A and B are shown apart, each in its own frame.
Chain A
């Protein structure tokens, strides 16, 4: 009985909170304020402290965006898997939480243009003749007849099939299996996003390997996705147009690139097409 009473209490307060915050969010939007949903527990993208202050790359992008739009900003911290449902319930106006634009998510919400993107890169043995290649076209043509590992079903696999069809493609169910075959020499190169491969290079197995210094971005080929975008409610088309414009300007003037340097030591900003 006690626990049931407790549950009822919780349910009521949750309901109240929802009604209250929905009302607040609506009021904010009306007064030129923007509430931003973010995960808050994903360094260095988004970190929230006990007082509710959010720092990180997401926070910087949010603040830059609000300054550009001349609106007041306010962060709402929410677990990542609850961000899209909460946006649809109007608990906040937009999502900035390192969220990749995917077809699946597009069915639920709108996205701004992609403003950032983790580079996709190749890893090869240090003594490979590919190790010194500096430009993408040379790299893709010199993959002719070589075995390249990718994870099955990823954008990387689609990219290789489209742009380097003369390479012998090996597809793996998991990244781990691909890395085992890279280490054992069954594949000469592996193609994945740089953070996953960075992890491999840091392990004992990866000590004889290095990145090919070519960042393959979705601006080079759209099969690689659309990068990371701001999530916006599907009803709010006017806001999407303003955010797109602001993000393009922020990338073009280098402010997002600068924020990226602060948090990632590399520029992951993605120019508008």
Chain B
């Protein structure tokens, strides 16, 4: 280990850490809401809605994230109507925006499956009791179904969050300078591959440790009334 190099690499990679965090937070914020909507659609009695949600989840879970990134960034970028439309180009034209879109659409598919499992685990009796109390559908969802479903789904969702953090590293292939992007650039400047990628790995580990801890705390809070 060359320590002079570590002092050079850590600040540079820390710059990438910030962007990795932003990519994760934005795509999770979009992806969670989209995933929730898809999960509700999937369980609705409307055939068209449920089969759309099913098809969406099949397509996005069945193709690699890297392929999706290349399709959105290089593929859509070649279409002239995308380039001429300022809104679409704002999304596709910029590497970071495009990465957020791909990550959000990808995580939405997995989130929808995780939340679907949570929603299906709600005992029918609870819903019927809420109905008997005269709660509207929206109120029932807010007070009964959603809190119980999220409690059930949280361990699996924590896993998905870790996968999103690791998925952001693929954004480096479409010119985004997050942790891996900076690491690749440093590698070609210094050829110190071992040191640089070890530091990059430690940074990802730190983010994920923090994330896992937060999810555990949330889980403990949500299950505080349950007998152990």
Contacts and interface: CB of A to CB of B under 8 A. Distances in A.
B78 A185 contact: no
14 contacts: A152-B185, A157-B185, A157-B188, A161-B189, A171-B184, A171-B185, A180-B74, A180-B77, A180-B78, A184-B77, A185-B93, A186-B77, A186-B94, A186-B95
Given A171-B175, A172-B175, A185-B83, A152 B78 contact: no
A177 B184 contact: no
B184 A152 contact: yes
Contacts of A181: 77, 175
A90 interface: no
Interface string A200-217: 000000000000000000
Interface residues of B, number: 13
A264 B193 CA distance: 39
B55 to A, nearest CB: 29
B173 interface: yes
A186 B74 CA distance: 11
Interface of B: 74, 77-78, 83, 93-95, 173, 175, 184-185, 188-189
A68 interface: no
A170 interface: yes
Contacts of B78: 180, 183-184
Give the interface centre of B83, B93, B94, B188 by most chain A CB atoms within 10 Å.
B188
Nearest to B176: A170
Nearest to A180: B74
Interface string A232-255: 000000000000000000000000
A208 to B, nearest CB: 13
